[in-house]
Amino acid sequence: MTTITKKNELFSREEIARRVREIGSQISNDYSGRSVLLVGILKGAFVFMADLARHIQCPCQLDFARISSYGDKTVSAGSLQIIMDVSMSIEGRDVLLVDDIVDSGLTLHNYAQYLKTMNPGSLKTVALIDKTARREKLVELDYCGFKVEDGFIVGYGLDCAEDYRNLDCLYLLDM
């Protein structure tokens, strides 16, 4: 496990908090008068989703799914495996799919396509980070915290081989 220092910091606690607050109020406006069902993709989205949910002012329910695409490596395997599916019925619901980071786009694209077959009333996507360098599938995020080009990012829920998820800001890992 590589040691993380201040020089690895990419986005501070304050910067993250500000963006999450801004996205939360955008979502609150857009879903005003409706009830939104947040579907978080585990494990990476758990910190972002916890903070985001507390900045959403309209009625809000939560569910989670777990998708495997990565092993304990830093390169995407490119295939989608649903390890744990949503537990609630999403039919007719206003669903907002929440992910930590979009890299190749395969996870979010494929899982969103799958969820659409369950006839949600609407389906939007939010990710904390949009990482563009290795995009394979076009993913049009409805809400996005930060856009970065490349690099392996950890902290605030994001891991490298399960480490660093507990760090309270986002760091760029030295590779």
Question: Per rule CB under 6 A, is residue 152 in the interface with ligand IMP?
Answer: yes
Instruction: Tell the smallest beta-carbon distance from residue 76 to Mg ion (Å).
Output: 10
37 touching ligand IMP, by CB under 6 A: no
- Give contact residues for Mg ion (rule: CB under 5 A): 44
Query: Does 8 help bind ligand IMP (rule: CB under 6 A)?
Result: no
52: CB partners within 8 A, 6+ apart: 20, 23, 24, 27, 38, 98, 126
> 61 and 37 in contact (C-beta within 8 Å)?
yes
**Residue of the chain from 10, 98, 106, 112 that contacts ligand IMP (CB under 6 A):** 106
69 binds ligand IMP per the rule CB under 6 A:
yes
Q: Shortest distance, CB of residue 162 to Mg ion, whole angstroms?
A: 8
Buried (b) or exposed (e) across 32-66, using 16+ Cβ within 10 A? eeeebbbbbbbebbbbbbebbbebbeeebeebbbe
Burial class (CB in 10 A: 0-12, 13-18, 19+), 105: buried
Annotated active-site residue in 51, 99, 100, 103: 103
**Cβ-based burial of 137 (10 A; exposed 0-12, middle 13-18, buried ≥19):** middle
Q: Omega into 147 within 30° of 0, i.e. cis?
A: no
DSSP class of 44: T
Binding-site member from 102, 115, 167, 170 for ligand IMP (CB under 6 A): 102
63 flagged as catalytic: no
Q: Least distance in Å: CB of 44 to Mg ion?
A: 4
Asked whether position 107 contacts ligand IMP by CB under 6 A, the answer is yes
Q: Which is nearer to ligand IMP, 38 or 106 (CB)?
A: 106
Residues that bind ligand IMP (CB under 6 A): 41, 44, 69-70, 76, 99-107, 131, 152-154, 158-159
Q: Which residues are catalytic?
A: 103
